[in-house]
Amino acid sequence: MNVIIVGASGYSGAELARLVASHPKLILAGIFVSEQSLDQGKALSDLYPQYTGLIDLPLQPLNSSALQFIAQHADYVCLCTEHKVSVDLAPQFLEMGKRVFDLSGGFRLSSDEDYQRYYGFSHSQPELLAQAAYGLAEWNAHAIAKAQLVAVAGCYPTAALNALKPLVNAGLVSDFPIIINAVSGVSGAGRKANIATGFCEVSLKAYGLFNHRHSPEIARYLNHDVLFTPHLGNFPRGILETIYVHLKEGVSSEQVTDAYQCLAQEPLIRLLGDKIPSINGVVNQAFVDIGWQQQGNMLIVMSAIDNLLKGAAGQALQCMNIAMGLPAHFTLVGGQHD
């Protein structure tokens, strides 16, 4: 399949370009940025020297000629763009008959009201919200396989949902909201220059209290109320979530362990039991590491991912693998390319 990446100069886009370029069943047919981008005309390897000799393609402006090229040559279009930009672009590529994999949040929620509240804009394509398949690979493969539009799951929700869906689906969780305390590296804030997210400026700090856009995403696909608080940490990449779950009366540790066995055969999920996951354990890998410890009715679940791999580009590649009828983890086993 010929793959086009729009927004390839950002961290997630560049990571995805690397994954596609190394994939034996995919061809990286073109990489694009906005017409206003200062990166247009540069090779991706100019921005990311580690890709020298692997991805020396130029970053082309997304103009009318580019759209004609995409119409003629692309099978899959991956959008690594701002949320509202994805909402504007996706219909154009769908009308061309392309399968679209959107790494933004443009199609993850259920209504225009949600977008006005959590994203700050009115959604111009509300009819596509019902059509988009949620791209959480381990849980929604059947829908992903058939969908023309895939809303790749967010980074924080990927860690939270894989850690919590086994418990909720097994009926082990009480009606109390689940408390999610999450910390991400600064790459999660994107590549654009911003003093607040500059490495020397970042301290461990909470943000988005009560209104972060990933809160409704987690609650929607978990079907349970959550209290989600993200933090920005002074490290480049990775997410660690510490999650506090109030179990129903009498739930045993054996029941909790049994609930997680639904993920035991997933190649990119590592169930650590009572061991504590760490960011160092997942950086530059496509795993989700999940550990848990219980005391009475209280359960602490810990989940770690690389936000740019399993939380973005790696998960998008899983969705493309599923669309091609390949195992979702193809080329991602062990977190590296075989």
Question: Residue 81 maps to which CATH number?
Answer: 3.40.50.720
Q: How many domains does the chain have?
A: 2
Both 168 and 301 in one domain: the answer is yes
Task: For residue 92, tell me if it sits in a domain.
Answer: yes
Both 168 and 289 in one domain: the answer is yes
Amino acid letter for position 207 = Y
Both 127 and 159 in one domain: the answer is no
Both 180 and 265 in one domain: the answer is yes
Q: Are 273 and 292 in contact (CB under 8 A)?
A: yes
Q: Partners of 180 in the beta sheet?
A: 228, 243
Task: For residue 321, tell me if it sits in a domain.
Answer: no
Task: For residue 111, tell me if it sits in a domain.
Answer: yes
Residue with tokens 């195992």: 327
Both 190 and 261 in one domain: the answer is yes
Give the torsion sign (CA, 190, 195, 197, 199). Answer: positive
Identified catalytic residue from 155, 200, 262, 319 = 155
**Annotated catalytic residue 200:** no
pLDDT tens for the chain, 338 residues: list them.
Answer: 999 999 999 999 999 999 999 999 999 999 999 999 999 999 999 999 999 999 999 999 999 999 999 999 999 999 999 999 999 999 999 999 999 999 999 999 999 999 999 999 999 999 999 999 999 999 999 999 999 999 999 999 999 999 999 999 999 999 999 999 999 998 887 877 677 777 778 888 899 999 999 999 999 999 999 999 999 998 999 999 999 999 999 999 999 999 999 999 999 999 999 999 999 999 999 999 999 999 999 999 999 999 999 999 999 999 999 999 999 999 997 444 33
Both 263 and 119 in one domain: the answer is no
Task: For residue 198, tell me if it sits in a domain.
Answer: yes
Task: For residue 324, tell me if it sits in a domain.
Answer: no
Question: Would you give the DSSP letter of residue 43?
Answer: B
Both 53 and 197 in one domain: the answer is no
Residue range(s) defining the domain that contains residue 295: 155-307
Q: How would you class 229 by CB atoms within 10 Å of its CB: exposed for 0-12, middle for 13-18, buried for 19 or more? A: middle
Both 122 and 194 in one domain: the answer is no
The CATH number given to whatever domain includes residue 170 is 3.30.360.10
Helices 11-21, 314-323: axis angle to 10 degrees equals 40
Task: For residue 148, tell me if it sits in a domain.
Answer: no
Task: For residue 138, tell me if it sits in a domain.
Answer: no
Angle, vertex CA 263, rays to CA 213 and CA 298, nearest 5: 65
Both 213 and 285 in one domain: the answer is yes
From residue 174, give the alpha-carbon distance in Å to each of 141, 170, 247, 260, 295.
28, 11, 5, 17, 15
Task: For residue 313, tell me if it sits in a domain.
Answer: no
Phi–psi pair at 318, nearest 5 degrees: -55, -45
Both 164 and 291 in one domain: the answer is yes
Both 167 and 303 in one domain: the answer is yes
Both 85 and 201 in one domain: the answer is no
